[in-house]
Amino acid sequence: MQRARILTLVGLPLALTACVASTVVSPPITPPPSLLVPCDKPVRLPAHALTQAEVETRWGRDRAALRRCGARHKGLVAIFRHGRGRM
């Protein structure tokens, strides 16, 4: 009986401290508005056959849009991965 009482007296504080939050709550991460701009849609193709110049121009526009979108995506990933977005 004495042993059970000692275990209860020792175990109760240990159990109660386990209920305390052990993590720090940080404020929500807010990315800059420039990183939230939606990606451009692919260039629309006309109904007629394209010349080589038209293909190259449209391909170039799509590639530039992909680079801009990729840079924004990397920025968002960096904010959430490294916590640099706490403002």
Q: Extract the tokens encoding 42.
A: 């692919």
Query: For residue 87, is it within any domain?
Result: no
CB 53 within 8 A of CB 78: no
Q: What is the pLDDT of residues 11-69, one digit of tens each?
A: 666 666 655 566 777 777 788 888 888 999 998 889 999 999 999 999 999 999 999 99
Residue 70 located in a structural domain: yes
Question: Which one is predicted more confidently, 23 or 85?
Answer: 23
9 lies in some domain: no
Please state, in angstroms and rounded to a whole number, the distance separating the CA atoms of residues 24 and 34: 29
In a domain, 56, yes or no: yes
How many CA within 13 A on the CB side of residue 39? 17
In a domain, 44, yes or no: yes
- Flag whether 68 is in a domain: yes
Give the pLDDT confidence score for residue 6 in this predicted structure: 72
pLDDT at 28: 77
> Which residues, in sequence order, are CB contacts of 72 under 8 Å at separation 6+?
34, 35, 36, 37, 39
pLDDT of amino acid 19 = 58
pLDDT reported for residue 85? 46
**3-class secondary-structure state, position 5:** helix
Nearest to 28 by CA among 74, 72, 82, 80: 80
Count of domains for the chain: 1
Q: Which domain holds residue 69?
A: 27-82
2 within domain boundaries: no
